[in-house]
Structure 1
Amino acid sequence: MSTSLQVGKILNNNNRITSGEIMGSSREGGGRGAEEDEFLLQIPEASAKVPKDAFHLAYIFYFTLGAGFLLPWNAFITAVDYFTYLYPEVSVDRVFAVTYMLVCLLFLLFIIGWAHKSSAYLRINIGLALFVLSLLIVPLTDLLYVKGTRGLYSGYYITVAAVALSGVADALVQGGVIGSAGELPKRYMQATVAGTAASGVLVSVMRIITKAIYPQTANGLRSSANLYFSVSIVVMVICLVCYNMADRLPVIQYYRDLKMQAMNEESKEKGPLSGSAWRSTLWDIVGRVKWFGFGIFLIYVVTLSIFPGYITEDVQSLLLKDWYPILLIAGYNVFDLVGKSLTAIYLVDNANVAVAACIARLLFYPLFLGCLHGPTFFRTEIPVTVLTCLLGLTNGYLTSVLMILAPKVVPLQCAETAGIVIVLFLILGLAVGSVVAWFWVI
């Protein structure tokens, strides 16, 4: 009996088997745990049939995709000093944040409603193409129209439109990539989430380099901004190639076949998902992942209401001067990457512990408030730097834990939708955090 038929037989007997149990059937490049061995007793040929992730290509591709879908946002927000120079009468960073997050949120709601009728492959490819287009708009506008001239606010509106288009692309790509990673073993979600942190580190490195080699003049800011967007365009093209290569890898096709088998078995038992049946399934998925989503939401409300606004506008250093916020942002991004990489070594499997830790992060509010209005020592570079790095470390680790665990609590055929729902909670947290930051509650 073939592996797919055996999986189908098991699903037919128990259609509540979750994607976590299915994904326990193999761990490429390593040994198997007790939970995996238990599942292999049910499908004895499964481990022999799982293709190897040769040269860890699938892992590398998902890491690259994770870096890719956040890089455009990082490019826009890192070039904010140039946009602030061009358009001094508007709060560019706040407008960018609210525009991007709200547009992304609205389109994610639409995608979730139609996820069962659309192809993740198509959504991701369209989204990556839209990313390239949105990133091209800014340097072309600068080259053909703005040309470094201050006060041309029609250029500002074009830039905001490019930010909005990038938000649409983010909804398509991030929802699709996280959703597809949710159908795979946990290591691929970890790779994707770690990639998102790597994009922040890459942009911070570029920011430090441009700060060091370009003068802080109009031409220097313009050159650095064009560099951010040029690198981002190249990376997005690489992501487009990587995704289409990953889609053809045997290990990815294997898990896609498992999903298709599960969907076919469900269709035979319940009929096609449409109308009220799909809404019922969707609400069941939301119910299963709601606490994971709450944790993700809280993480990003706390983080975005503090970072980067507090870092860039509220703290000063007589010693480091204008290097201070740049180094703080770099420190945050590095520790965010460390946190998202730690789950490859140790993963907290208890969702209750992870969600409790997310609630405990509310303590960052009084701590950062102390760095603004507390004793003199708390307002110095060391406490602020330590707190910023801890903000990044906890953000990274807890995000990775919850993103990895959430798709594994639903049936395999629902894992993609569960991943998209979790992204919705994430974007909602980013949007609310951005609005809270607007009022500078700390």
Structure 2
Amino acid sequence: MGTETADTESTHLLPASGGRPPKVPADRFHFAYTIFFTLGLGFLLPWNAFITAVDYFTYLYPEASVDRVFAVVYMLVALFCLLLIILYSHKSDAYFRINLGLSLFVVALLVVPVMDAVYIKGRVGLYDGFDVTTAAVALSGLADALVQGGIIGSAGEMPERYMQAVVAGTAASGVLISFLRIVTKAAYSQDATGLRKSAILYFAVSIVIMAICIVFYNVAHRLPVIKYYKDLKVQAVNEEKELNGPLTGSLWRSSLLNTVGKVKWYGFGIILIYIVTLSIFPGYITEDVHSELLKDWYAVLLITGYNVFDLVGKSLTAFYLLENAKIAIWGCVARLLFFPLFYGCLHGPTFFRTEIPVMILTCLLGLTNGYLTSVLMIMAPKVVPLQHAETAGIVIVLFLIIGLAAGSVVAWFWVI
């Protein structure tokens, strides 16, 4: 969607009795869109950096289940913090939460390269270093809850194209890390020195992009188009306050439950999407399928294929947005068919166990994950009044984290 549609889109966001300024400011040079895209890319980079450097951490800490520990710690911390944010979001400011989260991301990302330089120095078995790294992962989980909840919530208060930008940015994060993974695998030897250089590169790139995110976010609130929609929200909040009184106590709880009720089916679809996706990607792809031809490049290429098509899917909603929620949710249910199809790639006919069917299925997994996620994330905040769109966005992120956690658990069992 281009800026020329912003005026039309904004009519869905206006409070019922609100007036309207004569014209919606243009998103000059698509700068607001670019900012939301960059923020979407940014808040997933720390997690991608930690999990992509798993070879480096496994080398340093051979007796630790690095990827599983990281996943459990990150998801649980993010889930707990999101619950708190939902309960108290009406008492806190999104601007403060997002800036705090971005700053915590920088601190967490600095831990690994600094510790490598001054203490670890490539030595194996220093498990106090693993404890510190796990604490940095937990800090990233906290930062993720603050930033992702705030950004998705803020995008939910604006026209659809800005939520699409955020969601596409999250996919671009995976593509960027996959590109870095290919570059480092081709350029560096897979020994201690090469793994160390690769890990430091992941974290250095992530820190630079996080700094850009901080600058962009603090510029964003000055842009006329963003100020316009913030003013609409303030107007809607004030009207509701005049009508019902301050949104506190039982009135806030009732409002929150009403918001959850309105977005629950969108949340159900999101949970289904990520149960299926995380059950297969990346565990099945990195551990269960193998190629005599491509050897250890096979998993790298499959992950890259998934990430590229996830980005394609999340970008398609900029051109065509499926506006029928029932079809989108049934599409999430239909993705359960990926289980027997991927199972067939392990135990089915000979051709089904070759590289081409696995690559096609992996790309389809990414494409459907990207498109359906984008559709549901865009639509959910639009089913509530403008003044509750931020809360709806944060609730949808909570459903997303629940889906990620559930999918990570199912991944341990379904191919056994």
The TM-score bracket by the shorter chain reads over 0.9
TM-score by length of 1: 0.91
Closer, same or farther: CA 265–89 of 1 in aligned 2, 3 Å = same
- Answer whether contact 2:7 2:23 (CA < 8 A) is retained: no
- 2:4 is matched with which residue: 24, 29, 33? 29
Which residue of the partner structure matches residue 214 of structure 1? 188
Give per-residue Cα distances to partners, 1:146-177, cap 9 Å, x unaligned: 11111111111111111111000000000000
Which residue of the partner structure matches residue 369 of structure 1? 343
For 2:134 and 2:108, the matched residues in 1 are separated by 10
Give per-residue Cα distances to partners, 1:62-85, cap 9 Å, x unaligned: 000000000111111111111111
1:233-272, aligned counterparts within 5 Å? 233-272=207-246
For 2:19 and 2:247, the matched residues in 1 are separated by 31
Q: Which amino acid aligns with 1:28?
A: T
How far does residue 49 in structure 1 lie from its aligned partner after superposition? 2.4
Give per-residue Cα distances to partners, 1:22-47, cap 9 Å, x unaligned: xxxx97334876x878999x999847
What is the DSSP-based 3-state SS (H/G/I as helix, E as strand, rest coil) of the residue aligned with 1:29?
Answer: helix
Which residue of the partner structure matches residue 315 of structure 2? 341
Which residue of the partner structure matches residue 72 of structure 2? 98
1:396 aligns with 2:370: yes
1:305 aligns with 2:291: no
Once the two structures are overlaid, the 10-residue window that deviates more, 57-66 or 97-106, is 97-106
For 2:126 and 2:414, the matched residues in 1 are separated by 28
- 2:270 is matched with which residue: 275, 281, 296? 296
Closer, same or farther: CA 111–38 of 1 in aligned 2, 3 Å = closer
For 2:355 and 2:72, the matched residues in 1 are separated by 29
What is the DSSP-based 3-state SS (H/G/I as helix, E as strand, rest coil) of the residue aligned with 1:209?
Answer: helix
Q: Which amino acid aligns with 1:422?
A: I
What is the DSSP-based 3-state SS (H/G/I as helix, E as strand, rest coil) of the residue aligned with 2:275?
Answer: helix
- 1:230 is matched with which residue: 195, 200, 204? 204
Which residue of the partner structure matches residue 20 of structure 1? none
For 1:317 and 1:351, the matched residues in 2 are separated by 39
1:79-90, aligned counterparts within 5 Å? 79-90=53-64
Give per-residue Cα distances to partners, 1:3-28, cap 9 Å, x unaligned: xxxxxxxxxxxxxxxxxxxxxxx973
TM-score by length of 2: 0.96
Which residue of the partner structure matches residue 169 of structure 2? 195
- Answer whether contact 1:128 1:236 (CA < 8 A) is retained: yes
1:57 aligns with 2:31: yes
For 1:120 and 1:372, the matched residues in 2 are separated by 46
What is the DSSP-based 3-state SS (H/G/I as helix, E as strand, rest coil) of the residue aligned with 1:150?
Answer: coil
Which residue of the partner structure matches residue 306 of structure 2? 332
Give per-residue Cα distances to partners, 1:94-151, cap 9 Å, x unaligned: 1111111111000000000000000000000000000000000111111111111111
- 2:125 is matched with which residue: 151, 159, 175? 151
- Answer whether contact 2:10 2:159 (CA < 8 A) is retained: no
Which residue of the partner structure matches residue 164 of structure 1? 138
Give per-residue Cα distances to partners, 1:369-393, cap 9 Å, x unaligned: 1111112111110011011100100
1:138 aligns with 2:94: no
For 2:415 and 2:396, the matched residues in 1 are separated by 26
- Answer whether contact 1:88 1:151 (CA < 8 A) is retained: yes
How far does residue 411 in structure 1 lie from its aligned partner after superposition? 0.4
- 1:71 is matched with which residue: 33, 39, 45? 45
- Runs of 5+ unmatched residues, structure 2: none
- Answer whether contact 2:13 2:159 (CA < 8 A) is retained: no
Which residue of the partner structure matches residue 184 of structure 1? 158
For 1:29 and 1:147, the matched residues in 2 are separated by 54
- Runs of 5+ unmatched residues, structure 1: 1-25
Q: Which amino acid aligns with 1:275?
A: G
Aligned CA-pair RMSD: 1.9
What is the DSSP-based 3-state SS (H/G/I as helix, E as strand, rest coil) of the residue aligned with 2:248?
Answer: coil
- Answer whether contact 1:371 1:378 (CA < 8 A) is retained: yes
For 1:310 and 1:82, the matched residues in 2 are separated by 20
How far does residue 289 in structure 1 lie from its aligned partner after superposition? 0.3
For 2:235 and 2:413, the matched residues in 1 are separated by 50
- Answer whether contact 1:27 1:185 (CA < 8 A) is retained: no
Which residue of the partner structure matches residue 438 of structure 1? 412
How far does residue 429 in structure 1 lie from its aligned partner after superposition? 0.5
- Answer whether contact 2:104 2:143 (CA < 8 A) is retained: yes
How far does residue 86 in structure 1 lie from its aligned partner after superposition? 1.2
For 1:417 and 1:149, the matched residues in 2 are separated by 46
Count of aligned pairs between the two proteins = 415
- Answer whether contact 1:337 1:396 (CA < 8 A) is retained: yes
For 1:327 and 1:144, the matched residues in 2 are separated by 34
What is the DSSP-based 3-state SS (H/G/I as helix, E as strand, rest coil) of the residue aligned with 2:22?
Answer: helix
- Answer whether contact 2:57 2:66 (CA < 8 A) is retained: yes
For 2:11 and 2:283, the matched residues in 1 are separated by 48
Which residue of the partner structure matches residue 277 of structure 1? 251
Q: Which amino acid aligns with 2:413?
A: F
For 2:12 and 2:381, the matched residues in 1 are separated by 20
Once the two structures are overlaid, the 10-residue window that deviates more, 91-100 or 239-248, is 91-100
